[in-house]
Amino acid sequence: MVMTVIPARLNDKKDKLILIDQTLLPEQEKFLELDLVEDIFEAIKKLRVRGAPAIGVAAAFGLYVCILKSEATTVGAFKREFEEKRDYLATSRPTAVNLFWALDRMTNRLNKEENKTVEEIKAALLDESEKILAEDQEMGKAIGEYGLSLLKPGMGLLTHCNAGGIATSGYGTALAPMYVGYEKNYNFKIFADETRPLLQGARLTAYELFKAGLDVTVICDNMASIVMKEGKIDAVLVGCDRIAANGDTANKIGTSGVAILAKEYGIPMYILGPTSTIDMNTLTGDDIEIELRDGEEIINGFGKRTAPEGVKTYNPAFDVTAAQYITAIITEKGIVWPPYKDNLKKLF
Ligand code: MRU
């Protein structure tokens, strides 16, 4: 029932990273087999794998398959190679903290095993990356149950971008309560913002919810206000790329506008994400680096030029929703209510 495709995993021999190429969905379900650091970097940068938790899993497995080929005979030389590849992967995308979180976990594991042989360290890195995937698979169900406790059968739900099974490895985050609710006959009416410019809402959220049999309606981003005004939305559920220590949250561009609208219409705005997306070292949203992407994505999307060639563009991929617009943050460890500065700290 729930999305069964794991967006980032290892092949059976455990020497290649397998990704479903999300840039080709929903038309084509094509799987990529990668083991070169340049290809893994490219896949993350070009959003072949995307969504904060899936980026973390891809980075961990990606780093593992690259370093598995190392011919280093001393731990020192192996560590240098590892760090070079890790630092390169860390420059693929700046906003989702899960990328850095996963690379840090791999680094900490290596440091912990440093007195072992190169082969033993490789085995430990495999174990760590598999743990990251397993934890990711588990967190979605818990987020789904906590999220569902705030919802009622028959509700209208709005989501933005894609924070579903294709962005994690199971139930997703924002979509998790929808899947868990579906299993319990909640009959939600789900609205998916199409999410310009890369259409993660239309291509991915609609794809996975529709395929799983849920009631989903695609709207253009600029229709969120009217569906709220018409009383079709009872709650907004979105994912997150980085939650700062004060609760300010970076998510796909357009999320902050939806949050401001929701406040105006008196609709609760929930952020759903794993604790790995909370970055207590980032104090406020102002400290979050926002990825700027190629303007061609706006004016020449999906092979169709829709604005004059050479016109100026501005293409930030994320925005920050200020904590004051967020009703609650739902994690696998429980629901966090304001004041976020105190309550996020308690979570750790
Ligand atoms: O640019 P993307 O597609 O990687 O952006 C994804 C989002 O903004 C998601 O909402 C977020 O990563 C959460 S995915 C569980």
Q: Three-state SS string across 66-86, please?
A: HHHCCCCCCHHHHHHHHHHHH
Ligand 1 centre to CA of 228 (Å) is 23
Ligand 1 centre to CA of 134 (Å) is 20
241 flagged as catalytic: yes
The answer to whether residue 77 scores a pLDDT higher than 70 is yes
Ligand 1 centre to CA of 51 (Å) is 4
| 223 vs 221: CA distance, rounded Å | 5
Q: What angle do CA 74, 76, 82 make, to 5 degrees?
A: 105
φ/ψ bin of 302: left (φ > 0), alpha (ψ from -120 to 50), beta (otherwise): left
Q: Which of 227, 213, 163, 218 is nearest to 185 (CA)?
A: 213
pLDDT confidence band for 2 (50 / 70 / 90): low
The token pair that represents 50 in the structure block: 């995307």
From 3, 252, 279, mutation site for ligand 1 pocket: most ligand atoms within 8 A of C-beta: 252
What is the per-residue pLDDT across 121-150, written as a single tens digit (0 to 9) for each?
A: 999 999 999 999 999 999 999 999 999 999
Q: Give CA 328 to chain center in angstroms.
A: 18
Among protein residues, the one with the nearest Cα to ligand 1's atom 6 is 51
Taking the CA atoms of the chain, what radius of gyration do you get in angstroms?
20
From 46, 159, 200, 279, mutation site for ligand 1 pocket: most ligand atoms within 8 A of C-beta: 200
Ligand 1 centre to CA of 50 (Å) is 6
φ/ψ bin of 199: left (φ > 0), alpha (ψ from -120 to 50), beta (otherwise): left
Ligand 1 centre to CA of 95 (Å) is 10
Among protein residues, the one with the nearest Cα to ligand 1's atom 8 is 252
Ligand 1 centre to CA of 296 (Å) is 20
Among protein residues, the one with the nearest Cα to ligand 1's atom 15 is 163
- The answer to whether the CB of 232 falls within 8 A of the CB of 156 is yes
Amino acid occupying residue 189: K
Pocket of ligand 1 (CB under 6 A): 47, 50-53, 96, 161, 163, 167-168, 172-173, 200, 239-241, 251-252, 317
Q: What is the pLDDT of residue 170?
A: 85
Q: What is the pLDDT of residue 51?
A: 96
Q: Which of 136, 241, 248, 319 is catalytic?
A: 241
In 3-state terms, what secondary structure has residue 190? strand
Which atom of ligand 1 lies closest to the CA of 98?
Answer: 12
Q: What is the pLDDT of residue 10?
A: 98
Which atom of ligand 1 lies closest to the CA of 252?
Answer: 8
Measured N-to-C along each axis, helices 118-148 and 52-68 cross at an angle, to the nearest 10 degrees, of: 170
What is the per-residue pLDDT across 227-270, written as a single tens digit (0 to 9) for each?
A: 999 999 999 999 999 999 999 999 999 999 999 999 999 999 99
What is the per-residue pLDDT across 111-122, written as a single tens digit (0 to 9) for each?
A: 999 999 999 999
Which atom of ligand 1 lies closest to the CA of 204?
Answer: 3
| 338 vs 59: CA distance, rounded Å | 32
In 3-state terms, what secondary structure has residue 252? strand
Average pLDDT score over residue span 174-189: 97
Q: Three-state SS string across 312-325, please?
A: CCCCECEEEECHHH
Q: What is the pLDDT of residue 65?
A: 98
Amino acid occupying residue 209: L
Ligand 1 centre to CA of 145 (Å) is 21
Q: What is the pLDDT of residue 5?
A: 85
On the question of a cis peptide bond just before residue 94, with omega within 30 degrees of 0, the verdict is: no
Q: What is the pLDDT of residue 235?
A: 98
In 3-state terms, what secondary structure has residue 269? strand
**Backbone phi, then psi, for 238, in 5-degree steps?**
-135, 160
Which residues make beta-bridge pairs with 330? 272, 335
The token pair that represents 169 in the structure block: 């490895």
Q: Give CA 344 to chain center in angstroms.
A: 20
The answer to whether residue 1 scores a pLDDT higher than 80 is no
Among protein residues, the one with the nearest Cα to ligand 1's atom 10 is 239
Domains of the chain are: 8-140 (1.20.120.420), 141-346 (3.40.50.10470)
Which atom of ligand 1 lies closest to the CA of 51?
Answer: 12
Whole-prediction pTM value?
0.96
Average pLDDT score over residue span 27-46: 97
Which atom of ligand 1 lies closest to the CA of 22?
Answer: 3
On the question of a cis peptide bond just before residue 7, with omega within 30 degrees of 0, the verdict is: no
The edge-to-edge listing of strands for the beta sheet with 31-34 is 8-10, 17-20, 31-34
